[in-house]
Amino acid sequence: MLRVALALIALAGPLAAADEEVVLGLSRDTVSITTNFEGSEILIYGAIKRETPIRLDPTLEVVVTVAGPDRPVTVRRKERVAGIWVNTDAVEIDSAPSFYAVATSGPLDEVLRDTEDLRHKISIPRAIRSVGAPENVTDTAAFTEALIRIRTRQGLYRTAEGGVELTEQTLFSTAIDMPANLTEGTYDTRVFLTRDGEVVGRFETFIGVRKVGLERFLFTLSREQPLAYGLLSLAIAIAAGWGASAGFRALKRG
């Protein structure tokens, strides 16, 4: 009898989780970085597929995240010593996304509980992983906050509360602005459905960001043939200098 009860519970779990599912679309799933790349906007849109009637209490909310490749980062603190700004303390952050955007259908603290944020690492601070720090540094959180401030100013970290348009608890859409200074790689895209702050459904896909054309050629050359890349850079610099000099001489003669 116990085995039958456990089997019924196991079957009921997936069915309950499948009551609301995300059907997602992207305006584009690839971003090409060229020499004149100035950024891109990705439209993320979709619908919520249901097997049961819409629940209005509590209402459904949507959270969308787009995360670039994770990299370790060293954050240094500068202090004024004898009238000169110098680096003092430094903390190695184990993993931080090179780009991170969060868009929600409402205020983040209302649509997502802290426990769910901790479990799924949805907000920007939760997406950054910093395990250890030097013994002489006691305020490690300040270094993480500094990294967030810097990358927010650079347009690499963004939070858009209310940035997801949700229509009749079924259709949703948001636009994610991706700046020109993107890191090449795979950008994980996640959509979370929440009720009363708890995640009740999720969907994951990805956006590919790749260098193409001259950007790809120079990047590959710098990694695979650094000597040839250095010589090419030197030749371009000499040619540019000679061209500018010749132009000035022509202007003086004119």
What distances in angstroms separate CA 254 from CA 98, 149, 205, 244, 248, one per listed residue? 50, 51, 60, 15, 10
Q: What average pLDDT is seen over the chain?
A: 79
What distances in angstroms separate CA 125 from CA 80, 134, 148, 149, 193, one per listed residue? 28, 20, 8, 11, 20
Q: Find the range with the poorest average confidence among 19-33, 135-149, 171-185.
A: 135-149
- Whether residue 15 is predicted with pLDDT greater than 60 in this model: the reply is no
Sheet containing 165-167: which strands, arranged edge to edge? 20-26, 40-50, 171-178, 165-167
Q: Find the range with the poorest average confidence among 67-76, 124-133, 156-165, 242-251.
A: 242-251
The pLDDT tens digits of the residues spanning 181-226 come to: 888 889 999 999 999 999 999 999 999 888 755 554 455 545 555 6
> Can you tell me the mean pLDDT for 132-139?
62
pLDDT level of residue 6 (50, 70, 90 thresholds): very low
pLDDT level of residue 30 (50, 70, 90 thresholds): confident
Considering only CA atoms, which of 227, 182, 146 is closest in space to residue 40? Answer: 182
Task: State residue 84's pLDDT score.
Answer: 67
| H/E run at residue 146 | helix 140-153
Q: What is the rounded CA–CA span in Å between residue 80 and residue 86? A: 6
The pLDDT tens digits of the residues spanning 75-104 come to: 877 666 666 666 667 788 889 999 999 999
Q: What is the rounded CA–CA span in Å between residue 231 and residue 178? A: 33
The pLDDT tens digits of the residues spanning 35-51 come to: 677 778 899 999 998 88
Decide the pairing of beta strands 100-104 and 157-161: parallel
- Whether residue 228 is predicted with pLDDT greater than 70 in this model: the reply is no
> Can you tell me the mean pLDDT for 153-164?
94
pLDDT level of residue 161 (50, 70, 90 thresholds): very high
Angle at 149 between CA 202 and CA 32, to 5 degrees: 60
